[in-house]
Structure 1
Amino acid sequence: MRICLLIAAFAMAVAHGAEPPKPTHADVPYGAHAHQLIDIHVPPKGEGPFPALIWFGGIWKASKHAVDVNRFFPHGIAVIAVEVRTMEDATADKVKEPISYVLEDAMSAVKFVVENAERWKLDPKRIALGGGSQGALPALYVGCQAPELVTCVAAYRCQPTIDPKRMQEWVPGVQWGAPALGCSFEESLKRRDELLPVIKKWSPDWLLSQNAAPMYFENEWGMTKPEDIVETKIDTNGKKTEVHKPLTQNNYDVHSPAWAVGFQKLALAAGAVCHVKYPGHPTKGYDDIWNFIVKQLTSQTSKP
């Protein structure tokens, strides 16, 4: 089985080989730390206030992960890329719960955008959160912990839990997330009962309720590991080149849709809205993760 990935379409804000647009407001600090920064892309047309998608970057290494603004500007949606303090930062500071830096900053960044929305012509009552892989965890955390701030959450090929027991129930043998709980994965699995209060404090799956923001998960491969990946790259002249690469078991395991399916069962049991898409498993009412974001932000009136 082969899966085609259009690399530029997701990971980088690149449209048909073009350079990513410069932010309207770059490196805006929402805290005192050097990694507490946001880039704000405001649609060039319209008076606003504009709904906005907040997209989170790395949780191990500090980074902003942009998405293609051309998916959203035509719909009058602003895009905000967020950088947070990382677990690497927390470990250097000898923080007992390294994941706290990431998730506290995620909450702070969203609150900062909401509180300062008027400065950038944004609608504080129409805010979507999202992220890819590791970057989806902070989005899901805020969407479950403080749903009153959020219209919806979009999670692409992600890992929605830091609970070592649950992740191995969903994807047998997988190891992911250390040092979120202040120790190695193997130690966290052995000490899981002891660490459960910490897990329940920070892990999105343990924060689910009927009030959680509507969530949408998408994965680019299915429940069975494909033999290889076909990456489609587009150069500056628009020429497409296909590169075939083997898919490692570890890469598949940490991006398997089984994570989303496991999370969805818990979400539906809690009364939350949760959609899951992967090859052969479409979602009713939404074409994909991007269509979900646009529909959620443009079809709703502002929250009361």
Structure 2
Amino acid sequence: MTQAPTPTADTVRRLARSLLKDSGKGGDGGGAQSAAGPDVRPVAAGAEPATWWVGTRHVLRLAPDREASVRRRRELRLRDLVRPHVPVALPSTVARGEWAPGLLCVLDTRLAGGTAEEHRVSAVGETDLAGLLTGLREVPVRQAETLGVPRVPPRSLEALRRAAEESAGRLAEADEFDPDRLSRLTQPAAVQLAAQPGTAVLVHHALTGGHLVVSADGRVRGVLGWDAAVVGDPAEDIAGLALAVGAPAAVRAATLAGYGARPCLRGLWLARCDSVHHLAEALTGRTAPPPVLRARLRRAWEPIMLERVTDLGGGDEAP
């Protein structure tokens, strides 16, 4: 496999200038301009950044390999399929090309706002999230699969529970987590919270805080990161929201979207098991775990009223 070149500010600037010219927008990067092209800077720190701000109005994404290029091409088509069904904005593509042989680059519009890591989602923002979950359920699954969106089976909550118990022990040794909290998820409860047949929908599958565009007033204005989408268990997106905005807000949004107790609690426990496991994995490394992992664990384990009042043995009307 050919090694992709390392992107630099100069090469990204020249590439962005070319894409803007091809799109008919000329030098309209919306920021400082130079003879070489618009102002560019990496979105996040990294040795080989793959996402760059271009001026103040655009984002340039560089696929690092051919597999990522395939996912990105699928994402562009999927966004057009999803857009009419959801109440929040999705990025629009201004231009595309190759930044290295066989490697896709995409210049997108930049959605105005911060992230869910920067701004707390308000009560009205929770209705935006509910609209997102509702819209995803309305996207025709067959059309999504025609675009190449893969269908994935639901994860085993019992397997996650066992792995989380082991991880919780390591966190307890590091004084990071009380493993007794996991005792609420018993083996019978994990079985009762298994995904129900016939409930597969389009799942964003990456509803992290960084992919939620949130305004200063707490409204959810847009959603990024659609290249990880799958057809599968809707509880995965409820879990993603629990990690990103907190368990109570995630469950309220899912309830507003029409999901019953079972998928809400399944999503809650997917998030809790994941948060324990991911922090424990990070603690085994040589460097301190990123603060975001502790924040996700804290959000996922926020108490919710639903788990106190729901009798899982009595059945559920959840879709």
Question: What TM-score range do you get, normalising by the shorter chain?
Answer: under 0.3
Which is greater in Rg?
2
Q: Report the TM-score when normalising by structure 2.
A: 0.26
Report the structure, 1 or 2, having the larger strand content: 1
Q: Which has the higher contact order (CA 8 A, sep 6+)?
A: 1
Q: Report the TM-score when normalising by structure 1.
A: 0.27
Report the structure, 1 or 2, having the larger helix content: 2
